[in-house]
Amino acid sequence: MNIIETINTGKTVLGIEFGSTRIKAVLIGEDHTPIASGSHEWENRYENGVWTYSLDDIWNGLQDCYRNLGEDVLTKYNTPLTTIGAIGFSAMMHGYMAFDKDETLLVPFRTWRNTMTAEASRALTELFEFNIPQRWSIAHLYQAILNKEAHVSEISCLSTLAGYVHWKLTGQKVLGVGEASGMFPIDSTTNNYDSDRVKLFDEKIKAHNFIWKLENILPKVLAAGESAGVLTEAGARLLDPSGRLKAGIPLCPPEGDAGTGMVATNSVAERTGNVSAGTSVFAMIVLEKALTKLYPEIDMVTTPTGKPVAMVHCNNCTSDLNAWIGLFQEFTTVLGVEIDQNKLFELLYQKALQGDADGGNLLAYNYLSGEHITHFEEGRPLFVRTPESRFNLANFMRVHLFSSLGALKVGLNILFEQEKVKVDQILGHGGFFKTKDVGQRIMAAAMNVPVAVMETAGEGGAWGIALLASYVVNKDLGEPLEAYLSKKVFADQNGTTISPDAKDVEGFAVFMERYINGLAIERAAVDSMKS
């Protein structure tokens, strides 16, 4: 009955995130706990050399997701969803959506997945003395200029997917600062685009005589907690064609999936961070100050409040490990032994804790694909040992868990050893942490930092953007986001924290020395064994 009253009086908060394969909606109650959800499966398509989603994909998907949410509310609580306390939208970061003065999309949406901007990425990184990855919006814009694409002269507005959806629902061309940090470098002292680099870009393209200046076509930057407009009548009909949803609902600044991941793991304060480990692995560390120089291995973004964040992203994590466990599963089938796959994972992961601290002088590379941090354009999964290596199941599993974090450790060493970055705790989430204690203990050994896993870590970005929307309408005067999350959202959350074991840390360091020295073996495999 309390939840029904919360729904009917508009005290709920809605978060919707556009992921790469699913659009997800989460409705939360006054205690920030999810009370209903909806989703829509979708896939990007490769058309004319571009990874894209059509505008119809976006709006049909959003409407179906919201409709499914409404049906979930009606089924669970026998009441229609007509009003909401606040709404937030987030999406995959980066990419390129360019519009003319009539608000017409000039070229198909170019998603983060496209790797067509290598020339622009290199040039802008050199110009700005700041790492500009290929997926960033400014790299897409400059590459279009280099390619002499006719549409560039007609640009009136640039946005990202999250910014576009928010704009159409509110009329406001704005972005959360974390999302904006994936379009163009941010100055964390002003929480706005870096003005010196904006001038450098305008000067770089001056000869083209475009009618626009960069600052005039980029969305306005807002920090978490700031008002980002309200749902218009037209926006309400776009979101809910049934006509039940009322206009006037406040929205928070639209954010990217990196920012919502930080919020959903309570990792927005300085000296905190989170690691997402599954098919790929990335770590995001909130810095006390900006890095001293450019590192191609490190992406610089911000929290939803504008604090600088160093991101280490690796293409490969558990895929090779999963393949080996699949081989063991096949062996049990041949033996006529039936064992649940989840149970097999748990048994083999736990076995790794019985291995030698360094993995018994075994070596593995989990490179199913290339790995930019160690400068490999292609990958070849490898397992290597010497005649004297201690080759047993425990060491075999341990070294493959180590290998899952090898490239990540190379990037983290830049932060911890060269930049002397300090971290008090890391929040882990993803399949690597599914088996109790094992992934945490290995990660703690790799990072030499306590690693926590919370029960809510699996709620995801839709929950994270819902929390940001809740912060807009429910924060106390002057209350920072970090305090709001710690005191009002995560205070009663259950979780476990594992501190690094000195023997494990030493063993992982020995493994990493072997890993670095053995990269020549991986290089030889790539050069010698063609795919």
- Using one digit for the tens of pLDDT, what is the confidence trace for 263-280? 998 999 999 999 988 888
Distance between CA 372 and CA 280 in Å, rounded?
13
Do 222 and 117 belong together in one domain? Answer: yes
- Its domain, for residue 358, covers 319-404+503-528
**88: helix, strand or coil:** strand
CB burial readout 139-164, b (16+ within 10 A) else e:
bbbbbbbeeeeeebebbbbbbbbbbb
pTM of the model: 0.87
Taking the C-alpha atoms of residue 92 and residue 179, their distance in angstroms, rounded to an integer, is 9
For residues 58 and 69, give the distance between their C-alpha atoms in angstroms, rounded to a whole number: 17
Angstrom CA distances, 226 to 11, 42, 179, 252, 475, stand at: 19, 31, 14, 7, 11
- Assigned domain for 379 exists: yes
Handedness of CA 430, 436, 439, 440 (dihedral sign): positive
The Cα–Cα gap between 112 and 51 comes to 8
Q: What pLDDT score was predicted for residue 430? A: 81
300 contacts: CB under 8 Å, gap ≥ 6: 130, 131, 181, 185, 290, 291, 308, 309, 310, 311
Residues 72-84 have a mean pLDDT of 96
One domain, residues 247 and 334: no
**What pLDDT digit, counting tens, does each position of 118-150 carry?**
999 999 999 999 999 999 999 999 999 999 999
Task: Indicate whether 428 belongs to any domain.
Answer: no
* Predicted local distance difference test score (pLDDT) of residue 289: 87
When pLDDT is averaged across residues 40-44 and rounded to a whole number, the result is 94
pLDDT value, residue 457: 60
Residue 310 lies inside a defined structural domain of this protein: no
Mean pLDDT of 372-384: 92
Q: What is the mean pLDDT of the chain?
A: 95
Q: What span, in angstroms and rounded, lies between the C-alpha atoms of 413 and 442?
A: 16
More confident call, 281 vs 153: 153
Q: How many domains does the chain have?
A: 2
For residues 138 and 226, state if they share a domain: yes
Average pLDDT over residues 47-65: 96
482 neighbors 269 (Cβ within 8 angstroms): yes
In the DSSP assignment, the letter for residue 96 is: B
Among 204-213, 269-278, 500-509, the least confident range: 269-278
* Residue 458: per-residue pLDDT: 59
pLDDT confidence band for 286 (50 / 70 / 90)? very high
Query: Are 98 and 474 contacting, i.e. CB atoms less than 8 angstroms apart?
Result: no
Residues 378 and 245 in one domain: no
Q: Look at residue 429 and tell me whether its pLDDT is greater than 70.
A: yes
Cα angle 208, 213, 217 (rounded to 5 degrees) comes to: 120
Cβ-contact 330, 341 below 8 angstroms: no
CB 245 within 8 A of CB 239: yes
Task: Report the CATH number that the domain containing residue 200 is assigned in CATH.
Answer: 3.30.420.40
For the segment 353-378, the average pLDDT, to the nearest whole number, is 94
The whole-angstrom separation of Cα 120 and Cα 193 is 19
